[in-house]
Structure 1
Amino acid sequence: MFAHLFATMNDKLDEIKQLYPRVTGDKRDHLNKQLEVLKAMSDSIVEHWLLFEEKLADFYDDLKMQPAQKVSQQSPPYAASAAASKELQASQAEQAADKQMSVPAEAAKEQEEWNFPSDTAFFISKGQGYFKLHMFGHAEDELHKAINLSPDCQLARLFMAMTLMHMQRWVDAEKHFQILISLTDHAKWRAIGYNALGCIQAVHMNLELAEQYFLKAHDADPSFADSLINLKCCKERNGSLSLRFGSAELIR
């Protein structure tokens, strides 16, 4: 599993290294964002490794404390790095605590509501990383695993639906957005869902129905600007439609 992930990350990094000297402006900014995503994915993997390393070291310590059980006198294979990993983890924990202090109360409340198993969180994290790198096929694979584990996980549904939008798999995307709308109480997510349903109807030239969805999106969250932009686009109907899916809200 990790061999495939690292191979993909290395391929993406090689691609960025080739393009970076040749581009400027917005294209350079886009590559910088992709580098940030790769760094975040790498940090996440290190963090999970440290947690496992500490757990394994603690297990060996527990074994040593059991006199009735015969334990090899040889140092456990992970013992040598246990102290280093704990020190690094402590440093990361301190950084995470500092970061948590800056999280707004509303965001903290939302984090409490995203109560899903660690395996689900791991697949979502990988899926989000691939999504931000525009590697939508890989994102779909990881998010599918997350949804299989936690069918009611709103975050997984949101990213899966938007991934399918970018793959132009309109029917599948519509299904996931409808499920998301039925599950979530978050105004922004409901707005994104209704907006996406409007985009799907607009793609099929059902413009009146599309306009109804865009209005629902605006009612759900007036601060979500894409819905009114799309509504205006449908009403003017000047040639080809230029629609905003709302995916920019997912990569901020």
Structure 2
Amino acid sequence: MNQVLDEIMIEYSSATEDKKGELNEQIKALKEMSNSFIEEWLLFEEKMDKFNEVHLELPKPTLSIMSKQENSFIQEINSDYFQKGLGYFKLLMYNQAVDHFNKTVSDHPEFLLSRVFLALSYLELGEKNEAYNHFQFVTSVSENDKINAISYNAMGCIQMFRKNVEKAEEYFNMAKKIDPALSFYSLS
């Protein structure tokens, strides 16, 4: 994925309109793959939690993108809206996910993970401006490196759709600088 996007970024500025159309389709496919990786990663975390609860009888582990404080916060709010939003998100029912994540964000604006999923849902619905605004908000207040890296990566993808290659590259580099260990970034 990284090599393909690197090649697209090099080729894009001098491409013909027809070629830009092809490159935009490739960017769209890369974004879908990136979203798939994020969803699979979250499903893996959920399965690991269930396995640990049933077989290891250990305290429930935290999601790796959340601090211990954030994890205790999610357990405190025990938001049905957030849990249902996650369910709808996993089922690719993004309109319903947006409704539930919006309610969670309204009730608990400090719960940034809900806002990230809200932004990802908007992105899946093609509402890039709305998604971008939420990702910008998250990066302006979050101290969580993984949440920020995910947000910058998504903002880079949105900038690529807007054909703003330089700004996209800036965001991809920010994501890579924050957390180079995550594999779904769009630069090598």
The TM-score normalised by the length of structure 1 is 0.49
Structure 1: 5+ residue runs without aligned partners? 1-29, 41-93, 233-252
Per the TM alignment, residue 153 of structure 1 is displaced from its structure 2 partner at its CA by 1.1
Matched, 1:100 2:59: yes
Partner of 1:248: none
The alignment-based identity, stated in percent, is: 31
Q: How does 1:158-237 map to 2 (within 5 A)?
A: 158-227=116-185, 230-231=186-187
d(CA) in 1 for partners of 2:64, 2:119: 22
Per the TM alignment, residue 100 of structure 1 is displaced from its structure 2 partner at its CA by 2.2
Q: How does 1:142-153 map to 2 (within 5 A)?
A: 142-153=100-111
Matched, 1:135 2:108: no
Partner of 1:124: 82
Contact kept, 8 Å, 2:176 with 2:187, in 1: the verdict is no
Per the TM alignment, residue 120 of structure 1 is displaced from its structure 2 partner at its CA by 6.2
Contact kept, 8 Å, 1:178 with 1:193, in 2: the verdict is yes
Per the TM alignment, residue 112 of structure 1 is displaced from its structure 2 partner at its CA by 3.0
Matched residue type, 1:204 = R
d(CA) in 2 for partners of 1:172, 1:165: 8
Structure number with higher relative contact order (C-alpha < 8 Å, ≥ 6 residues apart):
2
Per the TM alignment, residue 117 of structure 1 is displaced from its structure 2 partner at its CA by 8.1
d(CA) in 1 for partners of 2:58, 2:154: 32
Residue deviations 1:101-121 (CA, integer Å, cap 9, x gap)? 6x26x8597243242585662
Residue deviations 1:202-233 (CA, integer Å, cap 9, x gap)? 00110011001100000010012222xx236x
Contact kept, 8 Å, 2:66 with 2:144, in 1: the verdict is no
Query: Which of the pair has more CA radius of gyration?
Result: 1
Matched residue type, 1:199 = C
d(CA) in 2 for partners of 1:197, 1:108: 18
d(CA) in 1 for partners of 2:149, 2:143: 11
Per the TM alignment, residue 184 of structure 1 is displaced from its structure 2 partner at its CA by 1.6
Residue deviations 1:179-206 (CA, integer Å, cap 9, x gap)? 1112222211111010111001100110
Residue deviations 1:127-163 (CA, integer Å, cap 9, x gap)? 0111011010110010011011011211111100111
Structure 2: 5+ residue runs without aligned partners? 1-35, 47-52
Partner secondary structure for residue 226 of structure 1: coil
Structure 1, 130-139 or 118-127: larger mean CA deviation: 118-127
d(CA) in 1 for partners of 2:144, 2:132: 18
Matched residue type, 1:218 = K
Residues 147, 108 of structure 1: alpha-carbon distance in 2 compared, 3 angstrom cutoff: closer
CA root-mean-square deviation: 3.0
Partner secondary structure for residue 231 of structure 1: coil
Residues 208, 144 of structure 1: alpha-carbon distance in 2 compared, 3 angstrom cutoff: same
d(CA) in 2 for partners of 1:159, 1:109: 13
